[in-house]
Amino acid sequence: MIRLPDPKPDVLARRDAVIAGLRAAVADAEGVIADPISLKPYETDGLSAYRQMPLAVALPETTEEVAAIMRFCHANGVRVVPRGAGTSLSGGALPMADTVVVGLMRMNQILDINYADRCATVQAGVTNIGITNAVAEEGFFYAPDPSSQIACMIGGNVAMNSGGAHCLKYGVTANNLLGLKIVTVDGEILSIGGEHLDAAGYDWLGLLTGSEGQLALVTEITVRILRSPEGARAMLAGFASNEIAGACVDSIISSGIIPVALEFMDKPAIHACEAFAHAGYPLDAEAMLIIEVEGSVAEQDDLLARLTATCERHHPISMKVSQSAEESLAIWKGRKGAFGAVGRISPDYLCMDGVIPTSQLPDVLRRIQEMSDSFGLKVANIFHAGDGNLHPLIMFDANDPSSFQRAETFGADILKLCVEVGGCLTGEHGVGVEKRDLMPVQFAEHELEQQRRIKSAFDPDWLLNPSKVFPLRPPAELPRAA
C-alpha cells in the first residue's frame, strides 16, 4: 500500500471554520458538502483501492467562486484536491483527511463554439464526449478520446494530459488545446493562451497540461475542434505470436501509413473481450491488431488494401476487413468494452499505463507473462501499438490482501521494466498517488528537485493536490523557490 501523509492537525481542528469559509465562498447552500454520507462518493476515484474521506467538498459554479474558495483556503493553509468526474486511474483525485475537494462538475457549460476558427470554449466540468456531442451536428469532433470519455471531464483531461485510441494521428490533450482560464493557489484568475495558436512567452499552456493539479486549478478550456473525416473503417488481423504481431506493427509504420488507430490485444484480452462482446475475434490467435483508417470509401478501400497486403506478409491466421460502419463498430465493441470484459473475469484489476519503444514489444510482453506466472496473477494486455502505450490489466482478488499486494508489486515491476527498456511510467493516466513512489525510477533526485521547484513557483506552500506526483518526504525539506 502507498503511504498517505498525516493530515494537518490544526486544519482538522478548524473543520467548522473551514466549512463556514467555504459556504461564504460558494453561493449555493448545496454547493458545500460536509456531512459524512454525502461526502462518501468523494472518498475515492478510479483507483478505488485507496479511500480517504475529505474534510469537505465544495462545488463551485463559476470561476469567481473557485477563486473565492482558493483565496480562503490559501489564507487559512487548507490543502485542496481538484476533482472532475473522479475517473482517474492513478488516484489523481484521492483526498486527504484535511483536504477540501473542489469538484468542478457543476461547471458544465459550453460557453462558445466557433466553427470558423475551429475552437470551442467550455467549462472544466463538461465531459469529453460532451464537447464532441455539441459540435457533431456540424460534422466536427474533439479528438482525444480516452476510454472513459462518456464520464471523464475535460478539466481532468487537461490535468492528466489524457490520450486515447486515436492519438497516434490526432495527438493527446496538450496538442488539442488553445487556451485555459486558471485559478492560482492564492485565488488569482488568469488567462493562458486564447483562441490563437502558439502564444508568445513561456509555454504555460503546455506546462499546465498534465500537471495533475499541482500548479493551479483549471476552470475553462478552449479546445481545438476538428472536422470529422468522410468516414472510417476498421480491420482486424490475428497472429500466431506477439512477436509476429509486433513485427506487423513495424511494417505498417514503415509502409508510410499512419492508421488513425492501431490497437494490440494479447490472447487473454482477446478471449475476455470476445466472451463479453461477441465481436468475432479470433480465439485461436495469440495476438490481434485492430487497425482503423479514415477517408472516403475509395480511400478507405485503398488504405485497407495496402494494410491487408502488409499484414499478409506476416502470415495472419485470420483477417477481417470491415465492409460497413456496423462491422467497424462490432470490431471496436470488443476493444472499447475491454475493461468491462476483464471485470467479468475478475471483479478487481489494476490497469497499468507504461510506455515502451515499440521495438521492445515482444520482449516486454514475454517478460510480463513470466511475471504473471511468478506472481500467480492473470494479466490481459491491451495497448495502443502505434505509440507503445501498454495497458496491462492485472487481475486480483480484493478480498485477499496478499493478492492486492502482489498485484501492486507486479504492476510496479511492469513499470520499472518499461523504464528499463527506454520507456516511461505513464503514457496517459498520470502519476497520481499510484506511481508517485516510482518516480525515482525515471528521474534522478536532482531532476525531481527541479520539478519540485517549478511546483513551488506556482504553489509555494504546497497546498495543491497533496501527496501526488512527487515522492513524499518531510515538509521541512520542501524547496522554496522564492
Q: Which CB atom, from 65 or from 353, has the smaller least distance to other proteins?
A: 353
The 3-class secondary structure across 7-26, one letter per residue, is CCHHHHHCHHHHHHHHHHHC
What is the phi/psi pair of residue 355, to 5°?
-125, 140
**Judged by CB under 8 A, which of 211, 242, 328, 465 binds other proteins?**
211
Q: Distance between CA atoms of 205 and 181, rounded to whole angstroms? A: 10
In contact, 290 and 270? CB cutoff 8 Å: no
Quote the crossing angle between the two packed helices 338-345 and 267-277, to the nearest 10°.
100
Minimum CB distance to other proteins, residue 70 (Å): 12
Q: Distance between CA atoms of 302 and 321, rounded to whole angstroms? A: 12
The span of 116-124, 327-335, 344-352, 395-403 binding other proteins (CB under 8 A) equals 116-124
Which helix (H) or strand (E) segment is 235 a member of?
Answer: strand 232-239
Three cell numbers written together for 174: 496538450
Q: Which CB atom, from 387 or from 397, has the smaller least distance to other proteins?
A: 387
422 in contact with other proteins (CB under 8 A): yes
In contact, 351 and 435? CB cutoff 8 Å: no
28 in contact with other proteins (CB under 8 A): no
**Judged by CB under 8 A, which of 1, 29, 37, 298 binds other proteins?**
298
What is the phi/psi pair of residue 291, to 5°?
-125, 130
Eight-state DSSP code of residue 464: B
207 in contact with other proteins (CB under 8 A): yes
End-to-end CA distance of the chain: 34
Q: Which CB atom, from 317 or from 421, has the smaller least distance to other proteins?
A: 421
In contact, 435 and 425? CB cutoff 8 Å: yes
Three cell numbers written together for 472: 513524499
**Judged by CB under 8 A, which of 37, 254, 402, 477 binds other proteins?**
254
424 in contact with other proteins (CB under 8 A): yes
Find the binding residues for other proteins in span 212-251 (CB under 8 A).
214-215, 227-230, 250
Question: If you search the block for the grid coordinates 490563437, which residue do you land on?
Answer: 196
139 in contact with other proteins (CB under 8 A): yes
Q: Which CB atom, from 317 or from 441, has the smaller least distance to other proteins?
A: 441
Measure CA 382 to chain center: 15
267 in contact with other proteins (CB under 8 A): no
Q: Which CB atom, from 49 or from 199, has the smaller least distance to other proteins?
A: 199
Return the number of other C-beta atoms located less than 10 Å from residue 208's C-beta.
23
203 in contact with other proteins (CB under 8 A): yes
Return the number of other C-beta atoms located less than 10 Å from residue 228's C-beta.
16
**Judged by CB under 8 A, which of 71, 181, 267, 429 binds other proteins?**
429
The span of 3-11, 55-63, 78-86, 417-425 binding other proteins (CB under 8 A) equals 417-425
The span of 37-45, 142-150, 191-199, 397-405 binding other proteins (CB under 8 A) equals 191-199
Q: Distance between CA atoms of 460 and 390, rounded to whole angstroms? A: 35
Q: Which CB atom, from 237 or from 356, has the smaller least distance to other proteins?
A: 356
The span of 6-14, 144-152, 294-302, 307-315 binding other proteins (CB under 8 A) equals 294-302
**Judged by CB under 8 A, which of 334, 455, 463, 468 binds other proteins?**
455
Q: Distance between CA atoms of 161 and 173, rounded to whole angstroms? A: 5
Q: Which CB atom, from 389 or from 403, has the smaller least distance to other proteins?
A: 389
Q: Which CB atom, from 334 or from 388, has the smaller least distance to other proteins?
A: 388
Binding mask 47-86 for other proteins (x = CB under 8 A): ----------------------------------------
299 in contact with other proteins (CB under 8 A): yes
Three cell numbers written together for 426: 505513464
427 in contact with other proteins (CB under 8 A): yes
Binding mask 368-407 for other proteins (x = CB under 8 A): ----------------x-xxxx------------------
Residues 6+ apart with CB under 8 A from 138: 115
Size of the site for other proteins (CB under 8 A): 97
Strand pairing category for 100-103 and 110-114: unpaired
Q: Which CB atom, from 37 or from 444, has the smaller least distance to other proteins?
A: 444
**Judged by CB under 8 A, which of 13, 24, 27, 457 binds other proteins?**
457
Eight-state DSSP code of residue 427: S
Strand pairing category for 287-294 and 261-266: antiparallel
Q: Can you tell me whether residue 215 is helix, strand or coil?
A: coil
358 in contact with other proteins (CB under 8 A): yes
Angle at 41 between CA 37 and CA 45, to 5 degrees: 155
Minimum CB distance to other proteins, residue 116 (Å): 5
